[in-house]
Amino acid sequence: MGVRAYLKPVMEGTEVVAAYKRLLSFSAEMLTHAREDDWTKLIDSEVAYVREVERLQQHELDAMLTEHQQQQKLQLLATLLQQDQEIRERLTQRRSELEKMLSAASKKRKVDNAYLS
Protein backbone atom coordinates (compact mmCIF):
# COMPACT_ATOMS: atom_id res chain seq x y z
CA MET A 1 0.00 0.00 0.00
CA GLY A 2 1.22 3.44 -0.86
CA VAL A 3 0.99 6.64 1.14
CA ARG A 4 -2.35 7.48 -0.49
CA ALA A 5 -4.02 4.53 1.25
CA TYR A 6 -3.62 6.31 4.57
CA LEU A 7 -5.01 9.66 3.48
CA LYS A 8 -8.44 10.42 4.82
CA PRO A 9 -11.03 11.49 2.23
CA VAL A 10 -11.78 15.20 2.19
CA MET A 11 -15.17 16.65 1.33
CA GLU A 12 -15.58 19.22 -1.39
CA GLY A 13 -17.08 22.55 -0.36
CA THR A 14 -20.37 21.70 -2.06
CA GLU A 15 -20.50 18.41 -0.15
CA VAL A 16 -19.95 20.24 3.15
CA VAL A 17 -22.79 22.67 2.45
CA ALA A 18 -25.02 19.79 1.34
CA ALA A 19 -24.21 17.92 4.57
CA TYR A 20 -25.16 20.95 6.67
CA LYS A 21 -28.39 21.24 4.72
CA ARG A 22 -29.13 17.59 5.55
CA LEU A 23 -28.40 18.36 9.20
CA LEU A 24 -30.81 21.26 9.04
CA SER A 25 -33.45 18.97 7.54
CA PHE A 26 -32.97 16.40 10.31
CA SER A 27 -33.03 19.17 12.90
CA ALA A 28 -36.26 20.58 11.46
CA GLU A 29 -37.80 17.09 11.68
CA MET A 30 -36.65 16.79 15.27
CA LEU A 31 -38.16 20.18 16.11
CA THR A 32 -41.45 19.24 14.48
CA HIS A 33 -41.57 16.02 16.50
CA ALA A 34 -40.73 17.90 19.71
CA ARG A 35 -43.48 20.42 19.02
CA GLU A 36 -45.91 17.53 18.47
CA ASP A 37 -44.70 15.71 21.61
CA ASP A 38 -43.76 12.73 19.44
CA TRP A 39 -40.67 11.68 21.38
CA THR A 40 -40.20 8.35 19.60
CA LYS A 41 -39.97 10.00 16.20
CA LEU A 42 -37.72 12.68 17.68
CA ILE A 43 -35.26 9.99 18.74
CA ASP A 44 -35.42 8.33 15.30
CA SER A 45 -34.65 11.66 13.63
CA GLU A 46 -31.86 12.29 16.11
CA VAL A 47 -30.17 9.02 15.11
CA ALA A 48 -29.97 10.19 11.49
CA TYR A 49 -28.76 13.60 12.67
CA VAL A 50 -25.96 12.08 14.75
CA ARG A 51 -24.86 9.88 11.84
CA GLU A 52 -24.54 12.95 9.63
CA VAL A 53 -22.61 14.82 12.33
CA GLU A 54 -20.20 11.88 12.64
CA ARG A 55 -19.71 11.79 8.88
CA LEU A 56 -18.98 15.51 8.86
CA GLN A 57 -16.48 15.15 11.70
CA GLN A 58 -14.57 12.51 9.77
CA HIS A 59 -14.39 14.31 6.43
CA GLU A 60 -14.97 18.05 6.79
CA LEU A 61 -11.89 19.18 8.67
CA ASP A 62 -9.63 19.73 5.66
CA ALA A 63 -12.32 20.82 3.22
CA MET A 64 -11.70 24.04 1.34
CA LEU A 65 -14.78 26.26 1.22
CA THR A 66 -15.23 29.34 -0.90
CA GLU A 67 -16.29 32.52 0.85
CA HIS A 68 -19.85 31.96 -0.36
CA GLN A 69 -19.83 28.39 0.97
CA GLN A 70 -18.47 29.62 4.30
CA GLN A 71 -21.33 32.13 4.52
CA GLN A 72 -23.85 29.40 3.68
CA LYS A 73 -22.36 27.16 6.36
CA LEU A 74 -22.51 29.95 8.96
CA GLN A 75 -26.17 30.66 8.14
CA LEU A 76 -27.01 26.97 8.37
CA LEU A 77 -25.16 26.68 11.69
CA ALA A 78 -27.03 29.70 13.09
CA THR A 79 -30.36 28.10 12.19
CA LEU A 80 -29.24 24.75 13.59
CA LEU A 81 -28.37 26.42 16.89
CA GLN A 82 -31.75 28.15 17.07
CA GLN A 83 -33.57 24.90 16.40
CA ASP A 84 -31.38 23.05 18.88
CA GLN A 85 -32.21 25.61 21.57
CA GLU A 86 -35.95 25.16 21.08
CA ILE A 87 -35.63 21.36 21.04
CA ARG A 88 -33.66 21.49 24.30
CA GLU A 89 -36.27 23.77 25.89
CA ARG A 90 -39.06 21.39 24.89
CA LEU A 91 -37.10 18.39 26.18
CA THR A 92 -36.55 20.18 29.48
CA GLN A 93 -40.29 20.86 29.72
CA ARG A 94 -41.01 17.21 28.95
CA ARG A 95 -38.55 16.06 31.60
CA SER A 96 -40.30 18.29 34.15
CA GLU A 97 -43.67 16.82 33.18
CA LEU A 98 -42.33 13.29 33.56
CA GLU A 99 -40.79 14.13 36.94
CA LYS A 100 -44.16 15.45 38.14
CA MET A 101 -45.93 12.34 36.87
CA LEU A 102 -43.41 10.05 38.57
CA SER A 103 -43.68 11.99 41.80
CA ALA A 104 -47.48 11.81 41.74
CA ALA A 105 -47.35 8.08 40.99
CA SER A 106 -44.89 7.54 43.83
CA LYS A 107 -47.11 9.45 46.28
CA LYS A 108 -50.15 7.48 45.14
CA ARG A 109 -48.28 4.20 45.62
CA LYS A 110 -47.28 5.25 49.14
CA VAL A 111 -50.87 6.17 50.00
CA ASP A 112 -52.17 2.91 48.51
CA ASN A 113 -49.57 0.93 50.47
CA ALA A 114 -50.50 2.78 53.69
CA TYR A 115 -54.15 1.82 53.23
CA LEU A 116 -53.28 -1.78 52.45
CA SER A 117 -51.10 -2.16 55.54
Residues of the chain with pLDDT > 90, as a percent, come to 67
Contacts of 5 (CB under 8 A, 6+ apart): none
Residue 40: half-sphere exposure toward Cβ, Cα within 13 Å: 0
pTM beyond 0.85? no
93's enclosing H/E stretch is: helix 67-116
Residues written for the chain: 117
Q: What digits encode the pLDDT tens for the residues 40-87?
A: 999 999 999 999 999 998 888 888 999 999 999 999 999 999 999 999
